[in-house]
Structure 1
Amino acid sequence: MPTSFSPCGQPPSSSPRGSPPPPALAAKLIASHFSGPVYTLDLTLANATSGTLKIAGQVDNGCGRIPAWLTVDKATNSVYCFDESWYGSGVLAQFAADDQAVLTPKAQAPTLGNSVFGALYGGDDDKGFVVTAEYSPSTITTYKLPLSASSKPVQKLSFTMPKPGPRPDRQDKPHPHAAFLDPTKEFMVVPDLGADVTRIFKINKATGELTACPTAASLSGDGPRHGEFLETKGGLRYYSLNEVASSVGMYNVTYAGEGGCLTLDLVQTLSTFGDRKGQTTEKAAELRIAGDFLYASNRNDQKFGKELDSLAIFKLDTAGEGTMSFMELTNSHGFFPRPFQINKAGDLVAIGGQTTANVAVVVRDAATGKLGPLVANINLPPRGTYMGEDGLSAVLWYE
């Protein structure tokens, strides 16, 4: 670590000789809990490896009954929250953030519930519509922005499969789990955990309509859940986090030309545990890329002790074809690390422990890709139950 540290890229502040510099407010985070609250968190740093997290704001029941996912639009000071309610109805919520990132409910739209993910897309600024992924109904649904109580779906797409997959307890039917835009923002990819495919759609930016392209297959039993695109010297690549198999797949991305479809071709698949396969009780959760490194969260491996799961780190050949090399497992400082995100500066990682209902912030070395000491940790009760859909659901940097 450097001998001096200045958070957020600011020059070190002067202080009287012999007295320590005052703590610096480093960042704001937004977190949600499956029991209903959505929090604003303040991260304050005393030095490069020590700080505190505290609750700066809290909204109860502003995102329905089971907030599951968050999307930040810093340009409009907005936070969108997606309700995983299993009770036949739910909400899609928008919050306004003030200059301290404290949230105020702004709008809600009714949904059928069970939304596990959402993303903005389309329109003149690629923020004209929002898509939600519904896990058990096997659907994705789109809505026009801005939201209101009278908002209705623009489009609802339902998926089927002829028979259960190789893991019928997890792959009994299609389970769309996310929706991501490609770098051109002309296409949307939807990982389908149940059907072992990544669904691809062409976007009509004016109307928000999605038109299906041919799907991209994963390995049998992979269970794709999340993903991210990356431009390498060898071309554009897509990396898929596979929950069921606890693995990451790397795909070559090609475009068929004007009017054509985006295609994904699987090139490489590696376990998120390095030299062993994931067990049936272990579940990979999320994937993030920063620089030449890819990170994936593992739930229920307890690699670092009781209720201390891991993050996997991979080195990416960004100067070549984008292939992955497993590096190591590192401590997530929580149990069932469902969400995590790297800050824009690339020097801190926020990790959400679902079952332990905590947010941990750790140091990241951008040069080596390794994660370092625990900087700060906060518990946001109530604690989740083992293998339950409760506890902490999401955490994001608000920047």
Structure 2
Amino acid sequence: MTHATTDREDGTGRAYIGSFTSAGGRGIITATVDRETGELSVLGATDIVPDPSYLALGDGPEPGGKVLYAVSETEHGAAAALDVTDDVPRLIGGTQPVDGEGPTHLARTGGHLLTANYGSGSVSALGVLSDGSVGPVDSVLAHEGSGPVSDRQRAPHAHQVLPDPSGTWVLSVDLGTDSVRICALDGTTGALRLHGETFLRPGTGPRHLAFHPAGGHAYVLNELEPTVTVCSWDAGAGTLEPIGETAVLPEGTEIGADTVTYPSEVVVSHDGRFLWTANRGHDSISVLALDATGGSVTPVTTVDCGGHWPRDLALDPTGRWLYAANERSGDVSWFAVDPETGVPRRAGSLTAPAASCVVFA
């Protein structure tokens, strides 16, 4: 199974790389993607948005057009929209405050842009205007609670927000409260209403989740313990139920005494057969196999991430190439995915200081 692509006439796709400008990053990099080799080549960059640590693409005002959205992961967080018609992204309108601190993730759903604000432990909904630019905040949903890990869980820390596959619900993953919140978003007013909250094992520190392509399961990657929690998802009822937890590193994996492992991102293959995680500290990509239902996860192996501190992991639209944004070594490495085993084989890398995420057009 492959996904539709929006390749140019020369057969190349486009990728956008976010990076921390405060750590020497270039901001947002535009690159070509060679679908046959996976190679990235830089076209241009802009630092007009400070610390654009996470990016997302949404539909633009023109048919078939796209708008790139970015968080500004700063103390007084903001979000921005960028025109990607040319090689250097151009700001549409201005940056908008999100009324939250340290936004780390965002998603476009319908006429709204959602941000997960790690520092303040909240989710913001901002309207998207007719030209694709970001409007003022319509609502902020503040999370409540804490967890047992005193230095990381004294307060809520919303780390990810995304719509479910049906488009009915909004889910927010909170590292500080060991929970995932399910919300309803009013498409007219932008009001967020809490529908339910699913609590995971205390101290696991959930960071991100990904859905199975069939829509009936979700996989919550935990940062404070290197595990993934498998959940059943009922879109009709808007309920998320944990059904199992699996270590992301195979049994017997050696970890140095001074090495911590903080998983950062989880990705599911387009055909629903494999799951990958990026593991900071261990500096690896884990390969896990999914059964036919998607309800069972089995660790297979780990491979080197090609750098240091992989903050993000992304699968290209063809499903053939996996990309790791290695923040501390300052590069994006790409891997050819074996279609039978799911094991990635490193094929190249691109220098990208303080790289934090990769998204594909």
TM range (shorter): 0.7 to 0.9
Tell me, yes or no, if structure 1 residue 346 matches structure 2 residue 329. no
How far residue 394 of structure 1 moved from its aligned partner, in angstroms, is 1.3
**CA–CA distance in structure 1, aligned partners of residues 332 and 206 of structure 2:** 25
Tell me, yes or no, if structure 1 residue 293 matches structure 2 residue 274. yes
Contact 1:365 1:371 survives alignment (8 Å): yes
1:206 to 168, 174, 188: 188
Which residue in the other structure is 2:307 paired with? 334
Cα 1:148–1:327 shift into 2, 3 Å: closer
Which residue in the other structure is 1:304 paired with? none
**CA–CA distance in structure 1, aligned partners of residues 159 and 138 of structure 2:** 19
Task: State the Cα deviation string for residues 156-206 of structure 1 (Å, max 9, x = none).
Answer: 111222xx4221111111101011111111101111100000011022223
Cα 1:149–1:239 shift into 2, 3 Å: closer
Tell me, yes or no, if structure 1 residue 42 matches structure 2 residue 32. yes
Percent identity, please: 23
Contact 2:98 2:115 survives alignment (8 Å): no
- Corresponding pairs, count: 339
**CA–CA distance in structure 1, aligned partners of residues 134 and 227 of structure 2:** 41
How far residue 379 of structure 1 moved from its aligned partner, in angstroms, is 1.3
Which residue in the other structure is 1:188 paired with? 170
Task: State the Cα deviation string for residues 88-122 of structure 1 (Å, max 9, x = none).
Answer: x2331111112x6542221222334411111112x
Which amino acid in 2 is paired with 1:356? S
Which residue in the other structure is 1:237 paired with? 217
Cα 1:276–1:190 shift into 2, 3 Å: farther
Which residue in the other structure is 2:14 paired with? 28
1:78 to 58, 67, 89: 67
Which residue in the other structure is 1:310 paired with? 284
Which amino acid in 1 is paired with 2:74? S
Which residue in the other structure is 2:103 paired with? 115
Which residue in the other structure is 1:264 paired with? 240
What is the CA RMSD across the aligned residues, in angstroms?
2.5
- Structure showing greater radius of gyration is 1
Contact 1:187 1:203 survives alignment (8 Å): yes
Which residue in the other structure is 2:136 paired with? 152
Cα 1:44–1:150 shift into 2, 3 Å: closer
**CA–CA distance in structure 2, aligned partners of residues 83 and 377 of structure 1:** 25
Task: State the Cα deviation string for residues 75-95 of structure 1 (Å, max 9, x = none).
Answer: 432110001112xx2331111
Contact 2:209 2:219 survives alignment (8 Å): yes
How far residue 150 of structure 1 moved from its aligned partner, in angstroms, is 9.0
How far residue 324 of structure 1 moved from its aligned partner, in angstroms, is 0.6
1:378 to 320, 330, 350: 350
Contact 1:165 1:172 survives alignment (8 Å): yes
Which residue in the other structure is 1:252 paired with? 232
1:359 to 332, 340, 352: 332
**CA–CA distance in structure 1, aligned partners of residues 220 and 252 of structure 2:** 18
Which amino acid in 1 is paired with 2:350? I
Gapped runs of 5+ residues in structure 1? 1-7, 11-23, 302-308, 382-390
How far residue 44 of structure 1 moved from its aligned partner, in angstroms, is 4.3
Which residue in the other structure is 1:395 paired with? 358
Contact 1:237 1:250 survives alignment (8 Å): yes
Contact 2:92 2:132 survives alignment (8 Å): no
Cα 1:315–1:171 shift into 2, 3 Å: same
1:275 to 251, 255, 280: 251
Gapped runs of 5+ residues in structure 2? none
What's the TM-score once normalised by structure 2's chain length?
A: 0.86
Cα 1:54–1:320 shift into 2, 3 Å: closer
Which amino acid in 2 is paired with 1:40? T
| Structure having greater relative contact order (Cα 8 Å, sep ≥ 6) | 2
How far residue 139 of structure 1 moved from its aligned partner, in angstroms, is 1.1
**CA–CA distance in structure 2, aligned partners of residues 148 and 213 of structure 1:** 29
**CA–CA distance in structure 1, aligned partners of residues 356 and 333 of structure 2:** 14
**CA–CA distance in structure 1, aligned partners of residues 331 and 147 of structure 2:** 34
1:228 to 187, 210, 214: 210
Tell me, yes or no, if structure 1 residue 55 matches structure 2 residue 42. yes
**CA–CA distance in structure 2, aligned partners of residues 347 and 165 of structure 1:** 39
What's the TM-score once normalised by structure 1's chain length?
A: 0.79
**CA–CA distance in structure 2, aligned partners of residues 9 and 97 of structure 1:** 13
